[in-house]
Amino acid sequence: MKRVYLSLIVASLLSACASEPPKTQTSVPVEDRTQTSKTTTQPADTRPLTPPVQTVSPLKDPKNILSKRSVFYDYDSFDVKSEYKPMIEAHGKYLADNPKAKVFLQGNADERGSREYNISLGNKRAESVRKMLSVLGAKEEQMEAVSFGEEKPRAECPEESCWSQNRRTDIVYQGE
């Protein structure tokens, strides 16, 4: 589908080029461009160098801060550290600008302690991000804070190097 579309663009560009022969070619040309055009009347072999720019979602563009999705926490804490604020602000603005976009704030905890208490702790983490997004202009109906507790660890080992990765809120857009 995409290839057909691109071929049509290329074909139309080339035919446009070919249909515009210089009409005032009375003076002596330094270069004979029309000759060159005529030698490339088979457009099927050509490709554009870059795809259309508008198909890259800002949410997926690795150069865009919106592609950053995780907030990490200290042990037994749900305070959002200042280093994550620019990222959360960008998502708040995106949600305010795109009222149809919906996010899940997914809170997580490390494996220590009660599974149910960790669900509640993960919820506090997700809720802390949800409240910040709300202040930044995201609507209530665009957001749902949920918790996985300790049930979906990103890293699995019984030490801090893994635990620190699992104390986390992830911002996940609907449909992702």
Partner 1 sequence: MTRTRLNIFLWIMALALSCAAFNARAALTIEITGGATLQIPVAIAPFTGEEAYPDKLSQIVAADLARSGLFKLIDTAGMPIPRGPQEVRVADWKAKGTVALAIANIVAQPGGKLDVQFRLIDTLRQDQVVQLAGYSLPTSPTQLRLTAHQIADIIFEKLTGDPGAFSTRIAYITKRGPVFDLQVADSDGHNAQTVFSSREPIISPVWSPDGARLAYVAFDQKKPIVYVQNLATGQRQIAANLKGNNSAPAWSPDGRQIAVVLTRDGHSQIYSSNADGTGLKRLSNSAGIDTEPNWSPDGKYLLFTSDRGGSPQIYRMPSYGGEPVRLTFEGSYNVSPRYSPDGKSFAFIQREGSQFRVAVQDIVSGQVQVLTNNAQDESPSWAPNGKMILYATTILGRGVLSAVSSDGRVKQKLSTQAGDVREPAWGPLIKPKL
Shortest Å distance, C-beta 69 to partner 1: 15
Considering the rule CB under 8 A, would residue 138 count as an interface residue with partner 1? Answer: no
Shortest Å distance, C-beta 149 to partner 1: 8
The Cβ-side half-sphere exposure at 158, using a 13 Å CA radius, reads: 1
Quick one: which of 81, 79, 71, 74 has its CA closest to 107?
A: 71
Considering the rule CB under 8 A, would residue 160 count as an interface residue with partner 1? Answer: no
Residues 6+ apart with CB under 8 A from 154: 108, 165, 166, 168
The nearer residue to partner 1, 89 or 111, going by C-beta atoms, is 111
Q: Using CB under 8 A, which of the segments 37-45, 63-71, 87-95, 107-115 binds partner 1?
A: 107-115
Integer-rounded Cα radius of gyration of the chain: 27
Residues at the site binding partner 1, with contacts judged by CB under 8 A: 104, 111-117, 119-121, 123-124, 127, 144-149, 151-152, 158
